[in-house]
């Protein structure tokens, strides 16, 4: 499914060539879409990642079964249909394959984005039992599949998904709660049973949030095979980590031992890297003909943080040299490809450690490729295939939106800055509509920091962050 969906103002339905039915609802925002599979996988619901109770589309793989038997009340709420019958009436008319979608119901545009005072749009979905849980289940499912977490973090995220699956059990989500709990147990089995230290990296506020989240899970876990043991492992780890953070002497010693101040001091004194062209020109005269620096374009992959920038890049003889600034990723890679179909990788090298304001990577190129056309990028995930400039810009914009949505759910002070980064990314891609929506969300988050009542009036935010939001990705 297209993660950005279609830009539509009303709820429409279309019968597709394979007999399935696709329903388009509200326009997805700058954070893209997250997907949940319901009705044993025969209903695919796509929600707005930033506003998880806003449904963008529903795909019915088996319409007769789904429309006739799948939790009709939840359907009505998902579609924001005040009559409760538009979809069923349309389907009972046995629609033929249509080139144009049929309008099921027209509603007003999202007033939250159009109102200069940013008042909240009243919506039946805001109060509908099960709709927000479907949305949060979708966001959590998408995040677990894409993010890189340690086993303990994955186990906690899967457990929360199991709890959400229990709330919407009548909609028969996939995976089911029992399947998710079994998977959580397998991830916990990868940890030393006597090790209660795996939650120590979380901050004190996040540990309090996690501790509060564990309480409602107890009854649900006790009813699932192995659930009691899983809860006890979580409970011990949370209590251990809170005890560590509660010891002021330990906190002070950790801060004092941090190399960050020394690293910043050394970085400030280091200055910028020398230009690659100047380095080449300084080589011995007899090598001057071969030591010319040829500029090369370098793409930043969508997985690289917004702070990273290309300082300098060139090919000198058979060496590809790239300087980047602002990169604090533990692992950062330089890749060079020959522009075949598909592109063939020629070089893969890591950047040096982030001890200075810049980092450098030097790759040796085959002689036949040194002066030919190259595709070059910087990434944290070297196993990924090459992506074009437009593809990277699109994925970067969606990725910035996902990061901003996570910051909003967490209530982070920098949520407004994250949405501003997202707006810039969408503007660079050339999507003014989504750039504008991200900019409005940035304005809202800036105002919300001064008004908590306003903040927690936002659709979905009253539930707070998902457990997976509390964890950072591993290297």
pLDDT at 419: 94
Kindly list the structural domains of the chain, giving each domain's residue range(s) and its CATH number in brackets, ordered by start. Answer: 1-96 (no CATH), 148-249 (no CATH), 270-387 (2.60.40), 391-470 (no CATH)
266-302 pLDDT, tens digit each: 444 455 676 766 555 555 434 444 456 678 889 988 8
Residues in the chain with pLDDT < 70? Answer: 1-9, 67-85, 97-99, 105-130, 244-272, 274, 276-293, 369-372, 451-463, 475
CA distances from residue 339 to 126, 207, 294, 345, 346 in whole angstroms, order as listed: 49, 48, 18, 9, 10
pLDDT at 210: 86
What is the C-alpha separation between 422 and 439, in angstroms, rounded? Answer: 8
341-398 pLDDT, tens digit each: 889 999 999 999 877 788 999 999 887 765 668 899 999 989 989 988 888 889 889 9
Cα angle: 411, vertex 145, 230; to 5 degrees: 80
pLDDT at 348: 94
Find all residues with CB under 8 Å of 155, minimum gap 6, and list them: 184, 185, 187, 188, 230, 234
pLDDT at 20: 87
What is the C-alpha separation between 161 and 143, in angstroms, rounded? Answer: 11
Going by the DSSP 8-state scheme, the letter that residue 316 receives in this structure is: E
What is the C-alpha separation between 180 and 154, in angstroms, rounded? Answer: 11
**Packing angle between helix 389-410 and helix 432-448, nearest 10 degrees?**
20
What is the C-alpha separation between 430 and 44, in angstroms, rounded? Answer: 29
3-state secondary structure of 368: coil
pLDDT at 69: 58
pLDDT at 351: 93
pTM, full prediction: 0.76
What is the C-alpha separation between 240 and 461, in angstroms, rounded? Answer: 29
């Amino acid at each position: 499914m297209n993660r950005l969906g279609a830009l539509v103002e009303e709820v429409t339905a279309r019968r597709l060539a394979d007999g399935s039915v696709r329903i388009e609802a509200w326009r997805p925002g700058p954070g893209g879409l997250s997907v949940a599979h319901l009705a044993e996988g025969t209903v695919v619901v796509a929600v707005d990642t930033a506003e998880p109770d806003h449904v963008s589309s529903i795909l019915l793989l088996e319409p007769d079964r789904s429309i006739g038997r799948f939790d009709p009340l939840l359907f009505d709420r998902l579609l924001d249909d005040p009559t409760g019958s538009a979809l069923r009436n349309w389907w009972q008319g046995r629609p033929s394959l249509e080139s144009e979608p049929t309008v099921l119901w027209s509603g007003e545009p999202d007033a939250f984005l159009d109102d200069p005072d940013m008042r909240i749009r009243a919506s039946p979905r805001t109060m509908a039992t099960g709709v927000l849980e479907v949305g949060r289940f979708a966001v959590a499912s998408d995040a677990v599949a894409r993010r890189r977490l340690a086993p303990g973090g994955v186990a906690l995220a899967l457990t929360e998904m199991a709890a959400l699956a229990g709330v919407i059990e009548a909609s028969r989500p996939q995976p089911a709660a029992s399947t998710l709990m079994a998977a959580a147990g397998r991830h916990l089995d990868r940890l030393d049973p006597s090790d209660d230290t795996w939650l120590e990296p979380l901050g004190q506020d996040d540990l309090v949030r996690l501790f509060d989240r564990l309480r409602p899970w107890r009854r649900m876990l006790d009813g699932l095979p192995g659930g009691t043991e899983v809860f006890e492992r979580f409970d011990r780890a949370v209590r251990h980590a809170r005890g560590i953070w509660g010891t002021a002497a330990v906190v002070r010693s950790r801060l004092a031992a941090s190399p960050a101040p020394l690293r910043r001091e050394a970085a400030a004194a280091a200055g910028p890297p020398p230009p690659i062209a100047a380095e080449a020109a300084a080589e011995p005269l007899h090598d001057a003909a071969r030591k010319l620096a040829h500029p090369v374009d370098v793409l930043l992959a969508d997985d690289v943080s917004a702070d990273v920038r290309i300082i300098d890049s060139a090919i000198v003889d058979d060496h590809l040299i790239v300087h980047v600034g602002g990169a604090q990723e533990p692992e950062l890679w330089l890749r060079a490809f020959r522009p075949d179909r598909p592109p063939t990788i020629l070089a893969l090298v890591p950047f040096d450690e982030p001890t200075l304001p810049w980092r450098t990577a030097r790759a040796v190129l085959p002689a036949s490729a040194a002066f030919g056309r190259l595709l070059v990028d910087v990434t944290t995930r070297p196993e990924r295939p090459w992506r074009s400039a437009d593809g990277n810009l699109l994925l970067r914009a969606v990725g910035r939106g996902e990061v901003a949505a996570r910051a909003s759910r967490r209530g982070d002070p920098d949520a407004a800055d994250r949405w501003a980064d997202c707006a810039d990314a969408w503007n660079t891609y050339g999507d003014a509509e989504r750039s504008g929506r991200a900019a409005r969300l940035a304005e809202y988050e800036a105002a919300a920091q001064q008004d908590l009542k306003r903040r927690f009036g936002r659709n979905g935010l009253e539930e707070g962050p998902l457990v997976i939001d509390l964890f950072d990705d591993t290297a």
